[in-house]
Amino acid sequence: MSAPTPVRIALFGAGRIGHVHANNISALPDAELVVIADPFIDGARALATATGSVAVASPEEVFAREDIDAVVIGSPTNTHVDLITRAAGRGLAVLCEKPIDLDIASVRACQEKLGDRASQVMLGFNRRFDPSFASVQRRVAAGEVGKLEQLIIISRDPEPAPRGYLETSGGIFRDMSIHDLDMARFFVPDIVEVTATGSNTFSSDIRELGDYDTATITLRGANGELITIINSRHCAFGYDQRIEAFGSGGMLSAGNRGETTVQKFDAAGTGQADVHLPFFLERYAQAYLEELKAFVAGIRNGTGFSPGFHDGVAALELADAAITSADTGTTQNTEKARV
Ligand SMILES: NC(=O)c1ccc[n+]([C@@H]2O[C@H](COP(=O)([O-])OP(=O)(O)OC[C@H]3O[C@@H](n4cnc5c(N)ncnc54)[C@H](O)[C@@H]3O)[C@@H](O)[C@H]2O)c1
């Protein structure tokens, strides 16, 4: 029997996340990286050469092709709405990086324009595919800790991004917390209340930009669950990514990961482990691969995509509610959103 025809994919963006997706597409036997589009053509060419693909400078050169089944959008956030609309309009499946856009009005307009075609879009909330977090979520859903009462999501970056990035990032809630807000919805789809506080504890750059470097968000789920998200733009001990799900019958938790699990015990101290994996590219390497496998499987099997476009809308709505809450010192009631 001959091997199934691979899903033929075009990639937009040959930057940080573009490299991850290009390498993962190339690694999957049932996917083929056909073309990489990036106006920075030298970058696209280098990545295309490394992955056996071809490089083009403009989206038009991608959309003119007949040999594409799907697109992966890893270009800057302000290109997402346009590329999603054009790709889905041509009947292509889409895996788009988060966030869809920084402006909820433009996201909603895009959703309206897409109509039923929104179901062709998968959102790149990669943390749902982290094997540890996915396992905690599955086991909570299976009732292993009884009724979920509290969820704690800790997400701290090792250090702030450069000022140039921060200026256009949309702020800590839309840029950083959005991953954690989606993680919250992964466990508790219906969030009815958002209370957030932000603080400027260490970065004058971030303060000057009118943003916070430190934030805490409390969400209330429809069944009374309380979810606490703790974010910082810096962390002296590295990239800090943890989850704790506490229920009536116990707790499930997933901690940080180092290169190995080796620990040192001596007269100077106990339980000294390797430093954490440095940042998202390393910590979530497996998650990005699993995400891509799910995208390709969704196309092959016709089973659809999760997380979808509506999850991107819901996470951005929660981020906006967090901004309003932090800026005004009020709790925001949010419409119920379903995974
Ligand atoms: N899921 C995650 O963990 C994660 C991590 C990093 C970035 N992201 C998201 O991925 C997107 C890209 O981020 P990055 O860090 O890779 O940025 P980057 O700046 O490293 O790369 C972006 C690339 O896109 C190219 N580009 C610009 N306009 C384009 C267009 N119209 N078509 C095709 N390519 C275009 C740029 O030349 C650049 O090479 C952002 O939306 C970001 O939020 C997600």
Q: What confidence tens digit (pLDDT) does each residue in 110-152 have?
A: 999 999 999 999 999 999 999 999 999 999 999 999 999 999 9
* Ligand 1 pocket test, candidate residues 9, 20, 36, 38, most atoms within 8 A of CB: 38
- For 20-49, how does the pLDDT look when each residue is reduced to its tens digit (9 = 90+)? 999 999 999 999 999 999 999 999 999 999
Q: 94-121 b/e with 16+ CB inside 10 Å = b?
A: bbbbbbbbbbbeebeebbeebeebbebb
Q: How far is the CA of 320 from the centre of ligand 1 (A)?
A: 22
pLDDT at 339: 41
Q: What whole-number distance in Å separates Cα of residue 239 and Cα of residue 235?
A: 7
d(CA 67, CA 226): 48
| CA–CA dist 311, 184 (Å, integer) | 11
Q: Is 4 exposed, middle or buried (0-12, 13-18, 19+ CB in 10 A)?
A: exposed
Distance 78 CA to ligand 1 centre (A): 9
Q: How confident is the model at residue 3 (pLDDT cuts 50, 70, 90)?
A: low
CA of 313 to the centre of ligand 1 (A): 19
pLDDT average, residue stretch 168-182: 96
Q: Which of ligand 1's atoms lies nearest the C-alpha of 77?
A: 41
Answer yes or no: is the C-beta of 307 below 6 A from any ligand 1 atom.
no
| Span 79-95, pLDDT tens digits | 999 999 999 999 999 99
Q: Is 319 a residue whose pLDDT tops 60?
A: yes
Does the pLDDT of residue 4 top 90, yes or no?
no
Interatomic CA distance for residues 96 and 99, integer angstroms: 8
User: Confidence class of residue 336 from pLDDT cuts 50, 70 and 90?
Assistant: low
Rounded to the nearest integer, the mean pLDDT of the chain is 96
14 neighbors 56 (Cβ within 8 angstroms): no
CA distance 326 to 332: 10
98 Cβ closer than 6 Å to some ligand 1 atom: yes
Percent of the residues in the chain that have a pLDDT greater than 90, as a whole number: 97
* SS3 label, residue 184: helix
User: What global pTM score does this model have?
Assistant: 0.96
pLDDT digits (tens, 9 = 90+) for 263-312: 999 999 999 999 999 999 999 999 999 999 999 999 999 999 999 999 99
How many CA atoms are closer than 13 Å to the CA of 2, on its beta-carbon side?
3
Beta bridge partners of 197: 216
User: Which residue has 């003119």 as its token pair?
Assistant: 64
Q: Tell whether the model's pLDDT for residue 1 goes beyond 90.
A: no
Contact 9, 68 (CB under 8 A): yes
Q: Is the CB of 39 under 6 A from ligand 1?
A: yes
Residue 337: per-residue pLDDT: 45
Cis, bond preceding 99 (omega within 30 deg of 0):
yes
Q: What's the pLDDT score for residue 2? A: 62
For β-strands 191-199 and 332-333, DSSP reports them as antiparallel
For a pocket test of ligand 1, which of 11, 75, 181 has the largest count of ligand atoms closer than 8 A to its C-beta? 75
Q: Is the CB of 17 under 6 A from ligand 1?
A: yes
Give a three-class secondary structure readout of 131-182.
HHHHHHHHHHHCCCCCCEEEEEEEEECCCCCCHHHHHHCCHHHHHCHHHHHH
